[in-house]
Amino acid sequence: MLNVNNLTVSRDSRIVLNNISFVVPDSSITAILGPSGVGKTTLLRAIAGLIRIDQGSIVVNNVDVTNLPTHQRGIGLMFQDGQLFPTMNVADNIRFGLRMRKHNKREQMQRVNELLELIHLPDYAKRDVSTLSGGETRRIALARAIAPSPAVLLLDEPLTGLEEDLRYNLARELATILRNTEVTVVMVTHDRYEAEIMADAIVQLSTRGDGNNGAVLE
């Protein structure tokens, strides 16, 4: 479970996120919805520990991780456009986090094969990532993010840039994959239909008249 309590973040003396609170239950998907520039990515980066917060707390599975470094939070992050490592093949991309955590090679490849089956790309281990389609890239990036078994997975506009038909079909597929892994997910999107396809709950970020942002749980 992820519990975000009274989170406030400012930049250059301007409040970007103002007193935001929401809870994401275990094995569920919550979408952060709002227009560009409202602070959605800032919220994800704050949860991941990539930027400083002014006040509030972040609790993962009843452990306060607010002051822990990113690598100790048990949180995974999938960036926009997948951002696969271009010099690594598919298998090496997926096992990257496991290698950083010193898993032995047999365990790494067992996990790679398991995830390739899960994302319906079982024969792609040795593929050059430059040969992947947009949809394949997103699925591989998702497998890489899931591989270390994070307690919470953050998805930053995971389907941005894809054509509409592909985006919505892939949204359904990714939602099924995520539910099969039983990971707790927070995803950012500006597309309400995409959020409704994938998420169990939606947190709406909206800009208020005073220039600050607030979140309303739908």
pLDDT tens digits, 26-69: 999 999 998 888 889 999 999 999 999 999 999 999 999 999 99
pLDDT at 6 > cutoff 90: yes
Residue 209 is predicted with a pLDDT of: 53
pLDDT of residue 218: 45
pLDDT at 216: 45
Yes or no: is domain 2-217 CATH 3.30.930.10? no
- Residue 117 one-letter amino acid: E
Nearest alpha-carbon partner for 159 in 169, 149, 148: 169
Q: What are 172-212's pLDDT values in tens digits?
A: 999 999 999 999 999 999 999 999 999 999 999 887 655 55
Give per-residue pLDDT as tens, 68-105. 999 999 999 998 777 899 999 999 999 999 998 888 99
pLDDT at res. 157: 92
Q: How many residues does the chain have?
A: 218
Distance CA 111, CA 107 (A): 6
pLDDT 10s digits, 103-153: 899 999 999 999 999 999 999 999 999 999 999 999 999 999 999 999 999
Q: What's the CA gap between 178 and 146, in Å, rounded? A: 9
Angstrom distance (rounded) from CA 43 to CA 196: 20
Strands (E), 63-151: 63-64, 75-78
pLDDT confidence of residue 12 = 84
Contact between 10 and 172 (Cβ < 8 Å): no
What's the CA gap between 194 and 207, in Å, rounded?
A: 21
Q: What pTM was estimated for this model as a whole? A: 0.91
Cβ atoms of residues 125 and 113 within 8 Å: yes
Contact of 77 with 96, CB cutoff 8 Å: no
**Contacts (Cβ under 8 Å, ≥6 apart) of 46:** 7, 9, 17, 53, 58
Specify whether the CB–CB gap between 48 and 154 falls below 8 A. yes
**Gyration radius of the chain's alpha carbons:** 17
